[in-house]
Amino acid sequence: MIPEIPRIFILAGPTGIGKTAVSTPLALALNAEIISADSRQIYREMDIATAKPTVDELSGIPHHFIDIVAPDEIYDAGRFGADGRKTALEIASRKKNILVVGGSGLYIQSLIDGFFSGAEKNESLREAIRREISRDGLSSVYETLRNVDPETAENIHPNDAKRIERALEVYRITGMRISELRRNQNREPWCRPIFAGLTMERALLYRRIEERVDRMIERGVIGETQTLLDKGYSSSAVAMEGLGYRDIVQYLNGDIGYEEMIRRFKQKSRNYAKRQITWFGKDKRIQWFDVQEYKTKEALAAAILRYFAGASL
């Protein structure tokens, strides 16, 4: 018996564009459960700065992958891909639709297209590589990589320490090159993805992002950050990489002023949105919807719904 390949609806777009707002009417209309593809909403106790949907916005729709790990744990795109797939199949088995909503491009890629397997991260190996870097210098380690995997090295900039680390890690774990692993990767589609993306004029997006930061301040992100620190979570925790937290910690420590903290928070949020736009812009499967062309989120949702319906025939 051939298992049916599930359809997966995806709603992507940069932060602050209003994905959460449309996702509610959309999920309701689709009779879908939502898989959040957001690398920061994964973390518990980090609600305001990550712009998690409020109880109201959840509207009784099951949301997966929000609040699943503690702030001192590390989650990653690979796990998300594997766990998300399982969840998606479960949702499908319940005869409900699947709506992936999020802005973490790599998470979506991992979920939909999959990663090559056999090279989960290995912290002690990474440590060793980092030691090599500090001892011999990055360029020397880059040379090492070039010797074992010239093709991958070619695509990594000599200054990109994280990618050099990972490429070498993969090689040492598997004895194979990333370039090779990617070629041999299983590309059997396990789902039928249909992508919708949200856009709007850049200047307007930036304004919305800045206003949202102001609202986060009003809602108490500073207190949220303080609470995290009070509970003993380190400011160097991976979860603290979420926009705003680092800046707020610096403000709390008296290293920067209040205005400066807000300035940086806004600026980094804008920079992040730009990176997301660049990332999603490459994916030709995405059908774009200009938010400004719709008067209400319901109208937008209806348009996306029509597209989904047409594309999934």
Applying CB under 7 A, the residues found at the interface with RNA are: 15, 38-41, 49-51, 74-79, 82, 103-107, 109-110, 113-121, 126, 155, 157, 159-163, 165-166, 170, 178, 182, 185, 202, 206, 238, 241-244, 267-268, 270-272, 274-279, 281-282
Looking at beta carbons only, is 173 or 303 nearer to RNA? 173
Question: Long-range contacts for 282-286 (Cβ within 8 Å, ≥24 apart)?
Answer: 283/105, 283/195, 285/193, 285/195, 286/12, 286/195, 286/196, 286/197
Looking at beta carbons only, is 64 or 166 nearer to RNA? 166
Contact yes or no for 288/199 (Cβ under 8 A): yes
CB 56, min distance to RNA, A: 18
CB 1, min distance to RNA, A: 28
Contact yes or no for 65/104 (Cβ under 8 A): no
Amino acid in the structure at residue 149: D
Looking at beta carbons only, is 49 or 196 nearer to RNA? 49
C-alpha to C-alpha distance for 203 and 222, rounded to whole angstroms: 27
CB 44, min distance to RNA, A: 13
Looking at beta carbons only, is 93 or 117 nearer to RNA? 117
Of 96, 86, 110, 100, nearest to 9 (Cα)? 100
CB 154, min distance to RNA, A: 11
- CB-neighbour burial class of residue 65 (10 A; exposed 0-12, middle 13-18, buried 19+): buried
CB 299, min distance to RNA, A: 26
Looking at beta carbons only, is 7 or 79 nearer to RNA? 79
Contact yes or no for 297/22 (Cβ under 8 A): yes
- CB-neighbour burial class of residue 33 (10 A; exposed 0-12, middle 13-18, buried 19+): buried
Looking at beta carbons only, is 100 or 170 nearer to RNA? 170
Place of tokens 């994280």: 162
- DSSP conformational letter for 240: G
CB 278, min distance to RNA, A: 5
CB 94, min distance to RNA, A: 26
Looking at beta carbons only, is 9 or 75 nearer to RNA? 75
C-alpha to C-alpha distance for 248 and 231, rounded to whole angstroms: 16
